Structure 1
C-alpha cells in the first residue's frame, strides 16, 4: 500500500469510528509516521496528495488554524479528475449536457420545498438581474443557482457532483457563451427560465420543475452546440 493510501485509509477509519471528525487536527508528523509505520518523508508526500484531493488542509504557524486539519472537501478531488478528462478531450459538450440533464432533472423531481435555501436562490436570481453584469459573472451566478436549487433534493452527493462539474466546466461554458450571436437576448431568456424553475421548486411542484429544467438545459445546449 502506498503511503498516501495508508494515510487515507487511516483517516477514513478514524472518521468512520467517530474518533476523528471534520475540523479535527491530525496528530503531529512524528506521531502519525510512527502510527502508520511510514517514513516522515513518505508521510509528507502523502499529506501533499491528500491536500490536493481536498481531504486535509495544512497551515503553518501556531494559531488556532495551524496544523493539519481534516476538511473532507470532495468537490476538489472531483474537480481535478473532471479537469483532466476535459483536458484530454475525452469529455465533450454533449457529455456535459447529458450529465447535467441526468443530475439536475433527478434533483428537481426529488426536491422538497422544505429543504431548499430559497433565500439564497432568490438572492442569486436578483443579482443576475443586474444589466451591468458581465457574461462571466452571470454564468458564475447561474451555476451557483443550479447547485443551490439541487440541494433541495437532500442528496449531498448530487450537489457535490454538480459543484465539481460547475468548477471544472466554467471556462468551457464561458467560451461557448461568448460565441453566441446575441448574449443579451440569451441571458434575458435564461433569467425568465430560472425564475420559472425557482417558483416551481419553491411551490413544491417537483414534476413541473423537472420539466422546466429539462427544457432549460436542452434549449441552452442546442443554442451553444455549434
Structure 2
C-alpha cells in the first residue's frame, strides 16, 4: 500500500458532534450520572476546544433526546444536568428509529421474536394477578366477533405491550414495545388487505388464549414457544415478510 493511500484526508466532525460524543463518553463510562451537572458552557467549550455555539447546539440536541435538561436562573438549581430518560421517551425514540431505518421486515420480525419470547417467559414467572387480569381482559375483548380489523389490531398491540410490561424487565419491555409499535401500521395494512380474515382472526385468538393459559400456569418455556409460533403464524398468514 502506498504512503498516499495510507494518509488520505479525514473528515472532521462538526463541533457539536464532538461535544455530543464527549458527553456520551462521560455517561457510558459512569463519570456522569443522572442529576449530575455539566460544566458551564464556557468551561466545557474551553476543555473540548470548540466554540460555545457548538456546545449550545450539542445541548439542544441532547435535550431533544431527553438526555439532558436545562434550568435557567442562578444558584445550584441552574445549569444543564443529566436527565433520566423516561421509559415512554426511550420507547418512542426506538420505535421511530426502527420505523425510519428501513430494516428488512425479516430482521424486524426476528428481533421481535427474540424479545417477545423473553418477555413471555419472564411474564410467566413475574406477572402479578392484576397484570394477568389485564392481559385476560384484552384477550376477551378480541373474542368479540363484531370487532373490526382496526380495533382488533389496536387490541392486539395492547396485548403484546401488556405482556412485555408484565415481564418485570424494563429494558426488555421497552425494546419489545418499540418493535411492536413500529409494526403497528404495516400490520394494520396487512390485516386490512388479508383474505379469509375471519379464519385468521380465529386462529390468532386461539393462540392468544394458549399464551394466556401458559402465563397463568407459570410455564415460561411454553409461553415463549407459543409466542414465537404466534408471531410466525401472523407473519405467514398476513404475508408480512
| 2:84 corresponds to 1:71 | yes
Question: Match for residue 44 of structure 1?
Answer: 56
Question: Match for residue 164 of structure 2?
Answer: 150
Question: Does the 8 Å contact 1:115/1:151 carry over to 2?
Answer: no
Q: CA deviation at 1:151?
A: 4.5
Match of 1:115 among 126, 129, 135: 126
- Cα 1:212/1:139, change in 2 over 3 Å: same
Question: Match for residue 4 of structure 2?
Answer: none
Kindly name which structure, 1 or 2, has the bigger radius of gyration based on alpha carbons: 2
Match of 2:227 among 213, 222, 225: 213
Q: CA deviation at 1:5?
A: 1.4
| 2:19 corresponds to 1:9 | no
Question: Match for residue 84 of structure 1?
Answer: 100
Q: Decide which moves more: 156-165 or 121-130.
A: 121-130
Aligned residues: 211
Question: Does the 8 Å contact 2:131/2:166 carry over to 1?
Answer: no
Q: Within 2, Cα distance between the matches of 1:56 and 1:150?
A: 27
Question: Does the 8 Å contact 1:57/1:70 carry over to 2?
Answer: yes
Q: Secondary structure at the match of 2:101?
A: helix
Q: TM-score, normalised by structure 1?
A: 0.72
Question: Match for residue 177 of structure 1?
Answer: 191
| 2:117 corresponds to 1:105 | yes
- Cα 1:112/1:84, change in 2 over 3 Å: closer
- Cα 1:84/1:20, change in 2 over 3 Å: same
Question: Does the 8 Å contact 1:117/1:148 carry over to 2?
Answer: no
Q: 5+ unaligned residues in a row in structure 2: which ranges?
A: 1-16
Q: TM-score, normalised by structure 2?
A: 0.68
Q: CA deviation at 1:206?
A: 1.4
- Cα 1:70/1:99, change in 2 over 3 Å: same
Q: CA deviation at 1:165?
A: 0.9
- Cα 1:44/1:114, change in 2 over 3 Å: same
Question: Match for residue 139 of structure 1?
Answer: 153
Q: CA deviation at 1:197?
A: 0.7
Q: Secondary structure at the match of 2:194?
A: coil
Alignment RMSD (CA, Å): 3.6
